[in-house]
Each structure stands twice: as structure tokens, then as C-alpha cells.
């Protein structure tokens, strides 16, 4: 995991923390339940748990114990707003040699969408 570096222009110091896939589900559940700057999760804690378990199952199916996971809560690319809510989840599905990367960023203010974006 120490080989993951920042992307784009800029000088980024990145701290990826290795984790387990079950911890990743818990972190995602917390992010949903804690809400964001602009929105709160509309369901219950159990709804969030089911959603994050389903999300993980959709990615790595029954290979959850063989997955490598790293979590980062810092901006590592100019894509991030570098304000609040920076989060990345890196999952390496070893048996099928597939990488999944979930990146979240949230601005403190609502931003205007460009034409055609939702």
C-alpha cells in the first residue's frame, strides 16, 4: 500500500491506512449514518449496515477475506476540494486481480452543477 502515490499537479502527503474489509464496511456505514455537510442518510443504522454490506458483496462477492483494503481521509489529487469530507477506499481483490477505488469529497458549500450534470 505504501506504493500508492498522489495524482495530478500538487504536492500531497498521503497516509493510507491498511485495514480489513469488515472495517471498511464499518467506516462506510459510519460515513452514511454521520451524514454529510449537506445531507443526512434517510434510513436507519441497520439500513446503512445492509447497504454497505451489499456494496462490498457486489465488489468482491465471497472473496471478502482475501481482499486487501486501505483507507485514506486526506486529499491525494487535485480532484478533491481539500475542504471537508475527503475519503478514499482502496480494495484489492487478490483472487481476480481487480482494484476498486471509491473516492468521496464534499464541499462546505453547495456547488453549482455544470449543464447536463446531476
Instruction: Identify the pLDDT of residue 111.
Output: 47
**Rounded to 5 degrees, what are φ and ψ at 29?**
-60, -45
Which H or E run includes 4?
Answer: none
Over residues 11-22, mean pLDDT = 78
Over residues 103-113, mean pLDDT = 61
Specify whether the backbone of 61 is left (phi greater than 0), alpha (psi in -120 to 50) or beta. Answer: left
**Rounded to 5 degrees, what are φ and ψ at 30?**
-60, -45
Task: Report the alpha-carbon distance of residue 74 to residue 110 in Å, rounded.
Answer: 20
Per residue in 48-88, pLDDT (tens digit) is 999 999 999 999 998 989 999 999 888 777 777 666 668 88
Extract the C-alpha cell encoding 30. 459510519
Per residue in 39-59, pLDDT (tens digit) is 788 889 999 999 999 999 999
For residues 92 and 99, the answer to whether their CB atoms sit within 8 Å is yes
Over residues 29-36, mean pLDDT = 83
Res 1 pLDDT > 50: no
Q: How many CB atoms lie within 10 A of CB 9?
A: 8
What pTM did the predictor assign?
0.70
Amino acid at each position: 500500500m505504501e506504493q500508492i502515490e498522489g495524482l495530478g499537479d500538487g504536492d500531497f502527503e498521503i497516509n493510507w491506512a491498511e485495514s480489513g474489509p469488515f472495517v471498511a464496511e464499518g467506516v462506510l456505514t459510519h460515513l452514511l449514518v454521520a451524514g454529510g455537510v449537506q445531507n443526512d442518510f434517510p434510513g436507519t443504522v441497520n439500513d446503512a449496515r445492509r447497504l454497505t454490506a451489499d456494496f462490498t458483496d457486489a465488489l468482491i462477492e465471497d472473496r471478502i477475506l482475501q481482499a486487501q483494503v486501505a483507507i485514506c481521509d486526506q486529499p491525494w489529487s487535485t480532484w478533491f476540494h481539500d475542504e471537508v469530507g475527503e475519503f478514499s477506499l482502496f480494495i484489492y481483490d487478490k483472487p481476480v486481480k481487480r482494484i476498486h477505488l471509491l473516492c468521496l469529497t464534499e464541499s462546505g458549500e453547495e456547488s453549482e452543477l455544470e449543464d447536463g450534470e446531476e
